[in-house]
Amino acid sequence: MDSLQKFQDLLKKLFQFEASDLDFGIYRILNYKRDKIERFIQEELKKKVENAFAKHKDERLTDINQRFEEVKQKIIQNFGQEALTPTGELKEEFKNTPLGKEFLSIKAQKDEVKAIDEIKSQVFNDLYNFFSRYYEEGDFVPQYRYSIKGHKYAIPYNGEEVKLYWANSDQYYIKTGLLFRDYTFKAGDYRVIFRIVSAKEELGSNKATKERFFILDDEEPLKIEDKTLIIRFQYRELTEEEVKHYDIEGGSNTAKQEKINQKSYDEIFKEIEDVTLKGFLGQMKNEKPLLLYQLNRFTAKNTKDYFIHKNLRKFLSEQLDYFIKSEVLDIETLEKEKFLDKHITRAKVVREIGEDIIDFLSQIEDFQKKLWEKKKFVLKTEYVITTDRLPEEFYDEILKNESQLKEWQDLGFELPKNKEELKNKKLPIDTKYFSQEFKEKLLEKLTENADL
């Protein structure tokens, strides 16, 4: 794989191209700009590098050609036209003169600039090395680089006596728990949904694991309706029998879940009778069947923390500046070079292309940040109030409300037989089970003498 292809593959991972068929959350934002980003990676990236090299090469050649012509004229004036061969080369007897040495030095610089295209692959390697260090498995890792040797990282510090710092201090922590939402993707013209359902019974002392895992629902694992396949999962501890069934003794939780996913995949395939659907689900994606690939992503997504950087553009721009000065233009490389023009050009191109990519990444990150920081608006408000606090005029309607009575039963409360019991039992009523008119009257009564 050449350096350009390697870097293009990295960019596809950064922009999560493998998730292009997902239709929720950040993937919708990415899909909105997918065509533009793909065009940049596949077509514009190489052209931009070539154009940048051509621009810097032309600028440099213009200056060198001018100096070359000036020293060439001086040679003709001092030594005559015969000092040069018909092809423009300096004859041997004039090479050790001061003008001859200057002529040869400038000519060597000219040849060096013409051969500058040879370091294009080095530019792609530089860009790969820079961006790959800040992304691990699709997640951004904000590590301030200090050195490529010894102590590699530093913390942003302005001389305070005490500095409290943690790795994600410049990021918003987005997910504090499990996101048990439907996970949707497409398989051909079919729609596939992974859905979490509650476990039907407590395992009690029968559970063999403290950790919870995603396993197929034992009651109704699959459901197919109008080209939509719904696969249902439970998220719970496992029994001894299930640990043996999935063969997950030992290893990390991630490895255990992946083993369970493989078993689940095999069981799902056995259950599906639709040959066309099986064909779509079995298509290879990232060296795995589509269904297994999506299943691994689904389980990882629901057990992973997410962060949004507060100022990604500033962070990456500062780090790119440091990277260029310390690694592209590092002193050890420059000491070995006779002429530095090609490395100056290399640094300029790395900065130019790097800033374009940072712009794409920060646009997406800033959009997420705006959504996160946006003030939340209350769409609906309900109240839970115990019955002993309610005026008796509402008791009749409460006792007739079947939804409220059912909730009390589900919560294990004994149902009141009359108004007196309703008052004494201090049962909680939820206004979501009542009409808007009931709620307004109730709030009006409760706030006659004091705020709620």
Q: What is the pLDDT of residues 380-404, one digit of tens each?
A: 889 999 988 888 889 999 999 999 9
Higher pLDDT: 414 or 108? It is 414
Higher pLDDT: 157 or 225? It is 225
**Both tokens assigned to 447:** 């706030």
Q: What is the average per-residue pLDDT within 11-40?
A: 69
Between the CA of residue 375 and those of 369, 370, 379, what are the distances in Å?
Answer: 12, 10, 12
User: What percent of the chain is predicted at pLDDT more than 70?
Assistant: 82
Cross-strand pairs, 232: 195
Q: What is the average per-residue pLDDT within 125-142?
A: 78
pLDDT recorded at residue 202: 47
Higher pLDDT: 270 or 81? It is 270
Q: What is the pLDDT of residues 197-230, one digit of tens each?
A: 875 444 444 455 678 889 999 889 999 888 899 9
Residue 150 pLDDT > 70, yes or no? no
Is the separation of the CB atoms in 195 and 222 below 8 Å? no
User: What percent of the chain is predicted at pLDDT more than 90?
Assistant: 19
Residue 62 pLDDT > 50, yes or no? yes
pLDDT recorded at residue 201: 44
pLDDT recorded at residue 136: 65
The model carries a pTM of 0.58
| Sign of the CA dihedral running 154, 158, 164, 170 | negative
Confidence at 99, pLDDT banded by 50, 70, 90: confident
Confidence at 151, pLDDT banded by 50, 70, 90: low
Residue 25 pLDDT > 60, yes or no? no
Confidence at 304, pLDDT banded by 50, 70, 90: low
Distance CA 130, CA 122 (A): 12
Task: Tell me 236's DSSP state.
Answer: E
Higher pLDDT: 298 or 154? It is 298
Residue 333 pLDDT > 80, yes or no? no
Higher pLDDT: 268 or 84? It is 268
Between the CA of residue 27 and those of 39, 128, 199, 285, what are the distances in Å?
Answer: 18, 23, 29, 18
The structural domains of the chain, with segments of one domain joined by +, span 3-143+307-373, 183-301, 384-446
Residue 281 pLDDT > 60, yes or no? yes
- Which ranges of 302-340 would DSSP assign to H, the alpha helix? 312-323, 331-336
Is the separation of the CB atoms in 404 and 429 below 8 Å? yes
Q: What is the pLDDT of residues 239-278, one digit of tens each?
A: 888 888 888 877 767 778 888 999 999 999 999 988 899 9
DSSP, collapsed to helix, strand or coil, labels residue 144 as strand
